[in-house]
Chains A and B, each alone.
Chain A
Amino acid sequence: GAVVSQHPSRVICKSGTSVKIECRSLDFQATTMFWYRQFPKQSLMLMATSNEGSKATYEQGVEKDKFLINHASLTLSTLTVTSAHPEDSSFYICSAQPTGIYGYTFGSGTRLTVV
């Protein structure tokens, strides 16, 4: 149980275009989901906390207009990278915490390459 599905696993896009990444909780409801970014050989940096039915909470230094987060249902959160540039190339991972369980389930990640 407690599976988080993230899609797509890999995406290549042209500079200036937008890319949407989906994160779904398959067998539980997630009122809160988390989005992380990971650079090569580095740790996961929290970008934002996504809250169902309300605005996301962004960490300091993360551009909210560039990284749009939508959490319209209890099982789906999306991250849209708008007007992507090569420096946005990274590994993006979502996470959720099933209610009542002190553990976090992670998606399999999305490798974004902007060319």
Chain B
Amino acid sequence: AQSVTQLDSQVPVFEEAPVELRCNYSSSVSVYLFWYVQYPNQGLQLLLKYLSGSTLVKGINGFEAEFNKSQTSFHLRKPSVHISDTAEYFCAVRNQAGTALIFGKGTTLSVSS
């Protein structure tokens, strides 16, 4: 079975600092990987996704992620965060049946001034 591990439950950073949110996955087959952001009491918004091709994926709001097959990782990065980036971030993998997404436990990013 596929699974996703988000290594940090909370990441506090100062405004304009760089940030990396870590995500590792386990799968014996090819996967599609996703990062979503969730603001309080709202649904999920897609930041970026990896399907195939270039391992460096650029998303919205200045975020990017790098797919590393040998390390089974898909870490999310942003070179300079804003207060408005404060939210919950979820890494997800598409399951073996190729239908629903399986989510990690989430990482709370808190940006302060």
Interface of A toward B, CB cutoff 8 Å = 4, 6, 32, 34, 41-46, 49, 91, 93, 95, 97, 102-109, 111
Contact = CB atoms under 8 A, between A and B. Distances in A.
B31 to A, nearest CB: 11
Nearest to A105: B46
A91 B42 CA distance: 9
A91 B108 CA distance: 17
Contact of A43 (B94, B99, B103): B103
B90 A44 contact: yes
Q: Which secondary structure dominates chain A's binding surface?
A: strand
A66 B34 CA distance: 31
Interface string B37-62: 00001111110010100000000000
A27 B37 CA distance: 22
B87 interface: no
A103 B46 contact: yes
11 contacts: A4-B43, A6-B43, A43-B105, A46-B100, A49-B100, A93-B44, A106-B36, A106-B44, A106-B45, A109-B43, A111-B41
Contacts of A108: 42-43
Contacts of B14: none
A41 B10 CA distance: 11
Given A43-B106, A44-B90, A93 B43 contact: yes
